[in-house]
Structure 1
């Protein structure tokens, strides 16, 4: 059983997609980041960077594993179960390359795009333009990579699980998708996967207006 500390963000969706694709049993522990659940001591014991997602894999070889950072979780669990990450060679290198492209580029830039265009308390035109333009540049990179490919590194992989939840939010990022036809086809392809559909449905089950207390989180963890 895997405990998944989760909120319905792109980084959270990455891990529910992975777990659904692997067919692993898991339990979501909702962390309401808008109400600062991420600062609860019991969560910080698993995720000292106070960010979701994080997991506790109770069945990990050698004993329970506490793991934060979505890229690390994708890599470790894919390797452990021998799926969605080639073991060696060029194919593995390609998957890791595009996973790290998302972690170091698309995610941070699109995240800043979201912040300055949607949530910042004051409009800062320089920041809005900078991050919108950089997001569009990265979409161009992805659009070219998808030319003639169904998935970003050839076969379906953890790179796709990392990338899809960010481009899913293209409207929020103010992207003109007529410029990125390969990404549009990719979005349809990914959305048609049953595991992706199940992953997104999981997040809809929770009351995201509620928040945890330390006592309630401790109780949940003792039920593992």
Structure 2
């Protein structure tokens, strides 16, 4: 059994999507980010970066003590290696998947997250930031569009690269992006959206980047104004 410490952010959904694709037994441990549950000592013992997702694998390979893991990319790689699926075993195929997994972690996620923040959560419009992150996210969408021009999945075969990227394309409207401008990406996205595991993953899930009522000042401090000292 795997405990998934989860909130319905793109990174949280990456881990849930893997578990649904792999059909591994898991249980959700909900973490309310706006209430500061990610700052509790018991969560920090699993995820010292006070971010979701995190997992506890109670049945790791070899029958060792439970494995505690944070960082969505590390979780995807660990789980893929655990079950021997969604990452090729040959050196070239593995390298293809890993470079696109790291591309998502270092580029697509951070840049899309920034434009999502400035478009939806920022208390006031910051034109320079909006233009900067919209353009960079568009560039990254273009990179993915060109990559998908001659293949059905990012690394050829379905892999953790697709699982990592898909949840970051779901909120494309909040990113200020029109998928019609990226036809290969749009085709891949539509094919990913109808996979049974994707449908299960997103059933009943709230879009965290949807326009909503203004968050309270306390919630804003918890979500966006953490410094070096973590409040317990």
TM-score, normalised to structure 1's length?
0.89
CA distance in 2, matches of 1:202, 1:50: 25
**Other-structure match for 2:41:** 41
Correspondence for 1:199 = 201
1:104 to 106, 112, 116: 106
Change beyond 3 A, Cα 1:155–1:106: same
- Which residue is 1:187 aligned to? 189
Distance in 2, matches of 1:5 and 1:77, equals: 15
- Could you tell me how far 1:135 is from its partner in structure 2? 0.2
1:12 equivalenced with 2:19 (yes/no) = no
Deviation at 1:151, TM superposition (A): 0.5
What residue is the counterpart of 2:215 in the other structure?
A: none
> Could you tell me how far 1:107 is from its partner in structure 2?
0.1
CA distance in 1, matches of 2:110, 2:3: 25
Structure 1 gaps, min length 5: 205-224
* d(CA) in 1 for partners of 2:205, 2:56: 18
1:52-103 per-residue CA deviation (whole Å, 9 max, x = no partner) reads 0000000013110000000000001100100001123111100001000000
Question: What's the Cα RMSD here?
Answer: 1.0
Alignment of 1:102-141 (within 5 A): 102-141=104-143
1: CA distance between counterparts of 2:68 and 2:93? Answer: 28
**Equivalent in the alignment of 1:2:** 2
Instruction: Return the match for 1:172 from 171, 174, 193.
Output: 174
Provide the rounded CA distance (Å) in 1 between the counterparts of 2:205 and 2:79.
20
Q: Partners of 2:82 and 2:49 in 1: how far apart?
A: 24
Q: Secondary structure at the match of 1:46?
A: coil
Query: For 1:145, which of 115, 129, 147 is the aligned residue?
Result: 147
Alpha-carbon distance, 1:187 to partner: 1.1
* Aligned residue pairs, count: 204
Q: In the aligned structure 2, how far is the partner of 1:202 from the partner of 1:87?
A: 35
Report the Cα offset of residue 202 of structure 1: 6.5
SS in 2 for 1:14: helix
Distance 1:40 1:13 in 2: 21
**Aligned twin of 1:91:** 93
Structure 2: 5+ residue stretches without partners: 207-232
| SS in structure 1 of the partner of residue 140 of structure 2 | helix
Q: 1:179: Cα distance to partner? A: 1.2
Instruction: Give the TM-score normalised by structure 2.
Output: 0.86
